[in-house]
């Protein structure tokens, strides 16, 4: 099976569910997907299998594939995050992930200053230094790669396996911010310095300083993007 063909089918059906073209309760059949997109039944079935793992659909015997409500979706799946950031749910998705980061990453930095191994903290320091150089150059693509690595290292350095599993969702929102033009061409010097401060505090074993510097990064991040969700209603879950 061509991976590009599989991705095309998956993206088509996934985005159709996320944007409401297929609302919750709708019935989809694999053969209909195949006919509409001009692919084999096996390609369509594989795409449906992935959608099931994300929680978007369930298989109903003798009926087909039923679209599940938003509450059933795996909110942390990077593919789902990418679809939501690209569609009408962009503002709500960006808000949720930014608030999650603001809550988790300062604690992760604090824990990393106590628990991260020397080799990891050394890599973090080198990454922060590279971020400053690349950020000044205006190479946003390379800067994004380094930014994703930086935050991944902090999460993994915390020694908390649940924090570490957030590296995928956080990578997705960092990529989304860049793709949506929500990142400055040249990152602010102050923000670049805060990344160095986080790395320095973690390498030096200073938990409070690491937390405080990460909180500064997160507060600036919120201030830069919160206008995108200012008019978006906040859902509440019972």
pLDDT (average), residues 139-166? 96
Poorest-confidence range of 1-15, 37-51, 52-66, 72-86? 1-15
pLDDT at 1: 45
Percent of the chain with pLDDT over 90: 76
Say yes or no to pLDDT of 238 above 60: no
Q: What is the mean pLDDT of the chain?
A: 93
Predicted local distance difference test score (pLDDT) of residue 27: 95
Domains for the chain: give ranges and CATH numbers.
3-72 (1.10.10.10), 78-229 (1.20.120.530)
Q: How far apart are the C-alpha atoms of 119 and 202, rounded to whole Å?
A: 12
pLDDT > 60? residue 118: yes
Residue 65 pLDDT exceeds 90? yes
Mean predicted confidence (pLDDT) in 13-32: 94
**Structure confidence at residue 185 (pLDDT):** 76
Question: How far is 56 from 224, CA to CA, in rounded Å?
Answer: 31
Average pLDDT for residues 20-37, to the nearest whole number?
Answer: 92
Tokens encoding 113: 């200053």
Reply yes or no on whether the pLDDT at 116 is more than 90: yes
Q: What is the rounded radius of gyration, in angstroms, for the C-alpha atoms of the chain? A: 20
Range of weakest confidence among 155-159, 185-189, 204-208: 185-189
Taking the C-alpha atoms of residue 192 and residue 180, their distance in angstroms, rounded to an integer, is 21
pLDDT at 103 over 50: yes
Confidence of residue 2 (pLDDT cuts 50, 70, 90): low
Q: Strand pairing of 64-67 and 57-60?
A: antiparallel
Helix (H) or strand (E) run with residue 111 in it: helix 90-115
pLDDT value of residue 54: 97
Say if residues 107 and 220 touch (Cβ distance below 8 Å): no
Beta-carbon contacts of 151 under 8 Å, excluding residues fewer than 6 positions away, are 105, 167, 170, 171, 174
């Amino acid at each position: 099976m061509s991976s590009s063909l599989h991705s095309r089918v998956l993206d088509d059906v996934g985005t159709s569910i996320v944007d409401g073209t297929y609302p919750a309760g709708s019935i989809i059949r694999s053969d209909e997907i195949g006919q509409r997109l001009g692919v084999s039944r096996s390609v369509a079935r594989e795409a449906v299998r992935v959608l099931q793992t994300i929680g978007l659909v369930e298989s109903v015997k003798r009926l087909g594939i039923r679209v599940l409500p938003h509450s059933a979706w795996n909110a942390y799946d990077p593919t789902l995050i990418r679809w939501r950031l690209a569609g009408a749910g962009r503002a709500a998705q960006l808000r949720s992930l930014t608030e999650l980061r603001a809550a988790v990453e300062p604690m992760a930095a604090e824990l990393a200053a106590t628990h991260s191994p020397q080799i990891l903290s050394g890599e973090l320091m080198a990454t922060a230094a590279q971020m400053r150089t690349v950020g000044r150059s205006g190479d946003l693509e390379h800067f994004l790669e380094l930014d994703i690595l930086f935050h991944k290292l902090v999460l993994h350095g915390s020694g908390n396996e649940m924090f570490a599993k957030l590296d995928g969702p956080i990578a997705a929102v960092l990529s989304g911010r860049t793709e949506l033009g929500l990142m400055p061409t040249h990152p602010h010097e102050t923000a670049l310095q805060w990344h160095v401060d986080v790395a320095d505090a973690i390498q030096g074993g200073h938990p409070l300083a690491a937390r405080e510097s990460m909180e500064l990064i997160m507060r600036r991040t919120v201030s830069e993007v919160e206008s995108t969700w200012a008019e978006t209603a906040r859902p509440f879950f019972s």
